[in-house]
Amino acid sequence: MLVREVLTIAAAVALAAMPMTVAACDGLVDGPRGRVASVTDGDTVVLDSDIVVRLIGTQAPKLPLGREDFETWPKAEESRVALERLVLGKQVVVRHGGERVDRHGRTLGQLFITAPVETWVQQQMVADGWARVYSFPDNRACVPQLLAVETQARLMKLGIWADPYYFVRRAGRPADFAGRAGRYELVEGRVLMADEAQGRVYLNFGRSWKEDFTAVIDKAALQLFSRGGLDPLRLDGALVRIRGWVDENDGPRVEITHPEQIEVLRAP
C-alpha cells in the first residue's frame, strides 16, 4: 500500500471518529414535516401523514418489495435496519433542492431529524456505509457533501463497502464488467480520449471502442455541463470516477445525464 493511501485512510478514520454534524447545503426549501411511522428500505420512509419520502441523493441496496423475480441486493436488509434505527419515531422535516415529487407520487428531498440535535439523514447513512451517492439531473443539491463522506466510508470499508458487489470497478479491465449490465456501478480509470460525435461526448478508456469501457454524455447533459462552465472534452488524460447504470453497447458503457456523475480524481 502506498504511503499516501495509508495517510488518506488514517485521515478518514480520524474524521469518522468525530461526531457527525450537518454540513452546509445551501438553497434547500422546507417541505413536509412529521414523524417517521415506518421505514420501507434504506432510502424510503413513510411519515405519520402517509407521505412517502424518497431520500434523494442516495441509493441504498434494493429489496424486492413485492416485485417478482427481483434479486435482493447484498446488505439491503442491514441498510433498512440502519435507517430504521436512525429515524423511526423521530420528528423530521423534508427539505427540497430540486424536483419535489417523482412519477410514483413520492416526496423527494433531503431528510433532517429535527430534535434533539438536527441530523442530516442522507449524510449519516452515507457516512456509515449504508448508501451510495446517487443523483438525478433534476435533483443535484448537496452532492459534493455526500461524496466527501462516501469516500471516507469506502476507504474504511464500512457497511456495503465491505462487500465485493459494491467494489469500485476498473475502467481498464473490460472483463470486470462481465454480467454487470443493468447494475449501478462506480468505475475508476484514466480517460484515454475524449471525443465528440453527433452531438454527444464519448470518454473512451481503452483503444477498442467495441470492447472497452466508455462513458457517454448525452445532448441534454452537455447543456448542464455548459451551464456549469465545464467542458468534458478537457477530460482527455484525466483520472476520473464515473457512477451510473452499466449497459452493453459496443462494450460496457455508462450514460452520463448530469455532471455529478463524474468525479475528477486527478486533472490531466
Average pLDDT over residues 32-52: 98
For the chain, give every residue range classified as CATH 2.40.50.140.
168-266
In this prediction, residue 10 carries a pLDDT of: 34
At residue 24, the pLDDT reads 63
Q: Compute the average pLDDT of residues 132-152.
A: 96
Question: Which is higher by pLDDT, 171 or 6?
Answer: 171
pLDDT at 14: 34
Mean pLDDT on 176-199:
93
Question: 1 is written with which cell numbers?
Answer: 500500500
Instruction: Decide: 185 and 253 in contact? Cβ < 8 Å.
Output: no
Cα 260 from Cα 123, distance rounded (Å) = 17
Segments in the chain forming alpha helices (H): 3-16, 76-87, 121-127, 143-155, 219-227
**Domain span(s) for CATH 2.40.50.90 in the chain:** 7-162
Cβ atoms 190, 264 nearer than 8 A:
no
- Statement: residue 209 has pLDDT above 80: no
Least confident stretch, 6-15, 70-79, 118-127, 188-197: 6-15
- Please tell us whether the domain made up of 168-266 is placed in CATH 2.40.50.140: yes
CA atoms within 13 A of residue 249's CA, in its CB half-sphere: 11
Percent of the chain with pLDDT over 70: 91
Least confident segment among 20-34, 37-51, 56-70, 147-161: 20-34
Q: What is the pLDDT of residue 66?
A: 81
pLDDT tops 50 at residue 140: yes
Mean pLDDT of 241-255: 94
Are the beta carbons of 53 and 45 closer than 8 angstroms?
Answer: yes
Class of domain 7-162: mainly beta
What are the tens digits of pLDDT across the range 64-104?
A: 988 888 889 999 999 999 999 999 999 999 999 999 999 99
Statement: residue 15 has pLDDT above 60: no
Q: Please say if the pLDDT value at position 1 is more than 80.
A: no
